[in-house]
A and B are shown apart, each in its own frame.
Chain A
Amino acid sequence: MKMNSRQNNPSDRTPKHEYGPDGKPQIDLSSGKYTKVWQGPNHPGVTGNMSLELTLCGDEIVDAKTHVGYLHRGFEKLFERRLYMQVMPTCLRMCVPESDTNEYCFAEAVEELSGIEAPEKARWLRMLVLEMSRLQMLLRVVPGQGGAFGLGIGVQWGMYVRELVLDLFEELTGGRVYHMYMLPGGVRGDLPEGFRERALKVMEEVYRFAERIDNVMFNNSVFKKRAIHTGYIDPAWIDRFGIVGPNARAAGYRRDVRKDHPYLLYDQLEWEVPVLEHSDVYTRARIRWMDMQVTADLIGQILEKMPEKGSFKTPTPNALNWRIPLGETYVKAEASRGEYGYYVVSDGSPYPRRITLRGPSYTHAIALLEKMLIGADVADVGGIMVSLQTCPPEIER
């Protein structure tokens, strides 16, 4: 395998190109020195429906542009013509693999604007679903980092355990991917009988998987060779590029909405937010691996502390004539990728005036990725994208 000279010697930053006054390399495609390559939208090394326009000099990337627009569904426009309750089944499709954060943020925003409070039991159940959602996402992403570098075995194992979590979702909500479980006012149902015991058994499976993936992926010399020193994020970029979640935590910044702006009942749970420092692909994968175990632990705590009985839904007005008072709010939650927020504006009519989503990928996959790819090896593009955990559906809502 051909290695990138920079991986062997990270301090090798010798300029090989002529740079213009804007600091960007002067690229003359007719010189024969550069090649333009598109990675995506249909490419195994791209995380979803987006593409990268790469300009290469040999194997080195000298310019990168992210292109989106392959999945634009106009959700935010549709919302302006939907009743609040009709927004529910649509909004969760804004992020396909982790839909529950959408449900939570929207439901919470509507409750806040209309002065309704979900009962305590509903808040515990919401927290359970959010953590299960994070867990199933991490079970895809953690081994997926190995998959991006050709280590496929962990992906198969991860998918098996993820299926067990999806079984729990099906039992609790009736759906495997889209759940539509959290409605304004509460949730749709209580825990089924015996759910706690079954969920705890699945968590044991998660811990076993974490141990195996540690041996197979994180101690794999080829994976380490590919992932260490690759895709470095300078800690000085964290605020400059709006980097959040695990990508910020792998650079030494302790950013977690659950701790910084506690919502639901997270202040009643005990856990340490994982923070590491090397800020490369390996460290980001490691942070997610730690997150996965923290999440399994939180699910155990939630199941233990959740009250047995209690109402799970506050009555809400007739959905057809539900007028939310004039106002606006911004509700955010910690998705597996970082800060995820909904900005909701009501004009007092039964239809929302504006609903917009702030997704972590909006900054990670565009401004940050375009910056990070400069100087990277073309073979590492897939691995770097996966390490940022980009999710294109939340970019083009």
Chain B
Amino acid sequence: MPISKEIESRFGVTEVKEQRSNLTWISLPPQQVIPLITHLRDHEGFTHFALLTAVDWIEQEVFQLTYILTNPTQKADLGLRTRISRENASMESAHHLWEQAATYQRELKEMYGIDFPGSPRVDEEFFLEGWDDIPPMRREFDSKKFSEETYFPRPGSKGYDPREYMKQKLYSEDYEDEQQTK
């Protein structure tokens, strides 16, 4: 286990799951994330910040933030998961710990609308230009509808439902049976 029981209780870790020998997931409340990753970086050897990303659990009205850190000496990865409300989503910034964290946070602000107050250039456009719709990686953003409304249809082009098309091409007998039953 890459972190001790003492650290788990000190930082309010609620769940520990060993995914494989060199990857462990832990869950904790959002206010404990920055104190814990600061401790891990400064005292436990988790000096490499590999990834920060979000997962939209729209059914539960939360965003999951996942931070992945690596300990180059122990050769171990640690994934920290925390959940924040989707309403006015905001999280403490980690840019003071690792420079590249600001880039991840800027992307999350643009793509999910999660704010990181104080993070450099967090409000600047990143991938998108002149975007005034809801943040596009949120689950409620319908990319098909957006595409139909924004781009004019090209005459002659034909679209397929990917699932139906694949069924027709790969499992043609099942598909024909299904069509006959209908």
Interface residues, chain A, CB within 8 Å of chain B?
Answer: 68-69, 72, 74, 76-78, 80-83, 85-86, 112, 239-242, 244, 255, 260-261, 318-320, 328-330, 332, 339, 341, 343, 345, 353-354, 356, 358, 362-363, 366-368, 371, 396
Contacts and interface: CB of A to CB of B under 8 A. Distances in A.
Interface stretch (B7-15, B16-24, B30-38): B16-24
Contacts of B55: 328, 345, 353-354
B23 A329 contact: yes
12 contacts: A69-B127, A69-B129, A72-B127, A86-B162, A86-B166, A242-B50, A328-B19, A343-B68, A363-B100, A363-B103, A366-B100, A367-B103
Interface in B111-167: 125-129, 136-137, 139, 141, 143-144, 162-163, 166-167
Given A69-B129, A330-B79, A367-B103, 19 more contacts: A78-B143, A86-B166, A112-B19, A244-B48, A261-B75, A328-B19, A328-B55, A328-B79, A330-B68, A330-B77, A332-B77, A343-B68, A354-B55, A356-B51, A358-B50, A362-B100, A363-B103, A366-B100, A367-B99
B53 interface: yes
Closest 3 pairs (CB-CB, A-B): A363-B100, A239-B47, A358-B51
A366 B103 contact: yes
Contacts of B25: 328
B72 A255 contact: yes
Nearest to B51: A358
Interface of B: 19-20, 22-23, 25, 47-51, 53, 55-56, 66, 68, 72, 75, 77, 79, 98-100, 102-104, 125-129, 136-137, 139, 141, 143-144, 162-163, 166-167, 170-171
A96 to B, nearest CB: 17
B99 A81 contact: no
Contacts of A86: 162, 166
Nearest to A353: B55
A68 B162 CA distance: 30
